[in-house]
């Protein structure tokens, strides 16, 4: 089961027209006016600060006033209650979400190209993840085949990064050993500081490499999960494909996107990455 962490509430908040009510209020008989949303949260107006408490976990229903769509959010945590004039703004963070809820919430947040660009620029990868319980898998063989290709590419990326990482470690050890070879004269304090600074810089670069490589494989894995849960309803399917495109544009590198295209032509994952790298190098020269 996947849970969004509080520090992942990164995407830009935008004002939208929506209503919020208690999970059991099916008719929206006593709704709260919505104020703003982002990919992992929402804010709405309440008249009494004691109705909700920071840290409280609640279940809500949301109605998008622009298209009438209603969806539920089973696990939402109250982050803050802020007084503004005669009312209070209740800011909430979505703790858990299913694939269908993610799609509905994405439709509420992303209404145009400009909003998509702003929201995606500041979004985090895990904002597109969801719990698998209650999230039906696609029964379309083409979706499952597509998801399998993405997973194959993720594995190939992890293997390639592991090989590169092993080489980086070997090079770092060799450099340190060379610099620590016995000298005719002991190292001065300044030389010792230079050596220490070099080691720190190399270790930091090594850490950044593994952080990037882990994110790349994780992005491909989440992409595979998104593809595997593509809904079958035509209108939902089209919106889901748009969300997939948003995710790819934000989190999948151009090299991996090109490699994915080559895999659709029957190329093996490792070969596809090599061909993608060569293609982009030639494109850069041109």
Rg (CA), the chain: 24
pTM summary value? 0.74
pLDDT of the residue at 122: 64
pLDDT of residue 28: 96
Please tell me the predicted confidence (pLDDT) of residue 170.
78
Q: What distance in Å separates the CA atoms of residue 225 and residue 131, rounded to the nearest whole number?
A: 10
Domain ranges of the chain: 6-128, 141-285
Predicted local distance difference test score (pLDDT) of residue 231: 92
Q: Cα(275)–Cα(282) distance, rounded to whole angstroms?
A: 11
Rounded CA gap, 134 and 223, in Å? 18
* Structure token pair of residue 22: 């208690």
SS (H, E, C) 123-135: CCHHHHCCCCCCC
Task: Report helix angle 234-251 to 99-109, nearest 10.
Answer: 80
Q: What is the mean pLDDT of each run of 10 residues along the chain (286 residues)?
A: 36 86 94 93 94 94 95 94 94 93 90 70 77 87 92 90 76 73 72 75 71 80 92 90 89 93 94 94 81
Collapsed DSSP state (helix, strand, coil) of residue 217: helix
- Per the document, the length of the chain is 286
Instruction: Dig out the tokens for 57 from the structure.
Output: 């976990």
- In this prediction, residue 36 carries a pLDDT of 93
Place of tokens 């909430």: 92
In the chain, the N- to C-terminal Cα span, in Å, equals: 47
**Per-residue three-class SS string for the chain:** CCCCCHHHCCCCCEECCEEEEECCCCCCCCCEEEEEEECCEEEEEECCHHHCCCCCEEEEEEEECCCCCEEEEEEEEEEEEEEECCEEEEEEEEEECCHHHHHHHHHHHCCCHHHHHHHHHCCCHHHHCCCCCCCCCCCCHHHHHHHHHHHHHHHHHHHHHHHHHHHHHHHHHHHHHHHCCCCCCCCCHHHHHHHHHHHHHHHHHHHHHHHHHHHHHHHHHHHHHHHHCCCCCHHHHHHHHHHHHHHHHHHCCHHHHHHHHHHCCCCCHHHHHHHHHHHHHHHHHC
The pLDDT of residue 283 is 83
Helix (H, G, I), strand (E, B) or coil at 71: strand
Report the alpha-carbon distance of residue 226 to residue 147 in Å, rounded.
Answer: 8
Q: What is the pLDDT of residue 168?
A: 72
**What pLDDT was estimated at residue 76?**
95
Report yes or no: 157 and 213 within 8 Å, Cβ to Cβ: yes
Q: What is the pLDDT of residue 105?
A: 92
Instruction: Specify the pLDDT at position 120.
Output: 67
Structure tokens at 245: 């495109």
Strand, helix or coil for residue 197: helix
CB of 264 within 8 A of CB of 174?
A: no
6-128 adopts what CATH topology? Thrombin, subunit H (2.40.10)
């Amino acid at each position: 089961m996947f849970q969004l962490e509080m520090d992942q509430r990164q995407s830009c908040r935008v004002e939208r027209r929506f209503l919020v009510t208690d999970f059991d209020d099916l008719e929206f008989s006593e709704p709260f006016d919505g104020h703003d949303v982002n990919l992992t949260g929402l804010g709405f107006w309440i008249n009494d600060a004691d109705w909700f408490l920071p840290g409280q976990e609640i279940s809500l229903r949301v109605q998008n006033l622009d298209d009438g769509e209603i969806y539920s959010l089973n696990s939402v945590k109250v982050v803050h209650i802020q007084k503004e004039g005669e009312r209070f703004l209740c800011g909430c963070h979505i703790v858990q979400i299913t694939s269908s809820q993610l799609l509905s919430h994405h439709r509420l947040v992303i209404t145009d190209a400009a909003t998509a660009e702003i929201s995606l620029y500041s979004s985090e990868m895990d904002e597109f993840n969801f719990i698998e319980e209650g999230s039906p898998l696609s029964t379309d063989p083409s979706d499952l085949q597509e998801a399998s290709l993405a997973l194959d590419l993720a594995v190939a990326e992890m293997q390639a990064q592991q090989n590169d990482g092993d080489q980086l470690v070997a090079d770092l050890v060799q450099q340190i050993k060379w610099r620590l070879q016995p000298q005719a004269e002991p190292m001065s304090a300044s030389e010792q500081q230079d050596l220490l600074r070099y080691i720190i810089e190399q270790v930091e670069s090594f850490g950044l490499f593994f952080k990037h490589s882990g994110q790349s494989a994780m992005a491909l894995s989440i992409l595979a999960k998104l593809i595997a849960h593509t809904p079958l309803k035509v209108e939902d399917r089209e919106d889901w494909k748009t969300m997939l495109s948003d995710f790819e544009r934000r989190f999948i590198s151009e090299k991996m996107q090109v490699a994915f295209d080559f895999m659709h032509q029957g190329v093996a994952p490792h070969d596809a990455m090599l061909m993608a790298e060569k293609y982009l190098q030639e494109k850069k020269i041109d």
